């Protein structure tokens, strides 16, 4: 046996390790996660998702569904802390070009059990004000 290590230096997210229970990915900045490129939120309907900021800066954006519509919130990530996105919570990340995060999720997380919500211009403006 040997100890394996993994890395990813490209834009966006890449799963670097996966087994039958969980997946570890490396998530780097990409244009869609820049404050000027954000246009949607996502949610995973069956599983939580964990993020750990290792480099740069990231703001987690989230939205709860209420009778009045979406209520937005944000959390500025701190390096080395584990941030849990509960299942069914609308969310996305706003990052800068030097950002690198570790993402951990159930290996069954996919677009078959997740949703994407495209945002209108007012919702995008609300998110930009939180970044």
**pLDDT tens per residue across span 46-104:** 999 999 999 999 999 999 999 998 999 999 999 999 999 999 999 999 999 999 999 99
CA proximity to 44, closest of 91, 81, 76? 91
- pTM check: above 0.85: yes
Of 95, 102, 27, 119, the C-alpha closest to 127 is 119
Tens of pLDDT, residue by residue over 31-50, are 999 999 999 999 999 999 99
Q: How far is CA 1 from CA 4, 16, in A?
A: 9, 19
How many C-beta atoms surround the C-beta of residue 75 within 10 A?
16
Max CA pair span of the chain: 56
């Amino acid at each position: 046996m040997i100890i394996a290590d993994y890395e990813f230096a490209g834009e966006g997210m890449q799963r670097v390790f996966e087994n039958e229970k969980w997946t570890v990915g490396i998530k780097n900045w990409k244009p869609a996660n820049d404050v000027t490129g954000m246009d949607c939120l996502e949610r995973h309907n069956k599983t939580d998702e964990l993020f750990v900021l290792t480099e740069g800066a990231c703001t987690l954006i989230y939205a709860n569904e209420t009778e009045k519509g979406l209520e937005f919130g944000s959390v500025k990530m701190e390096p080395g802390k584990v941030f849990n996105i509960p299942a069914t919570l609308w969310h996305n990340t706003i990052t800068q070009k030097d950002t690198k995060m570790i993402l951990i999720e159930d290996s069954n997380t996919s677009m078959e059990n997740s949703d994407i919500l495209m945002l209108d211009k007012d919702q995008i403006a609300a998110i930009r004000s939180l970044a």
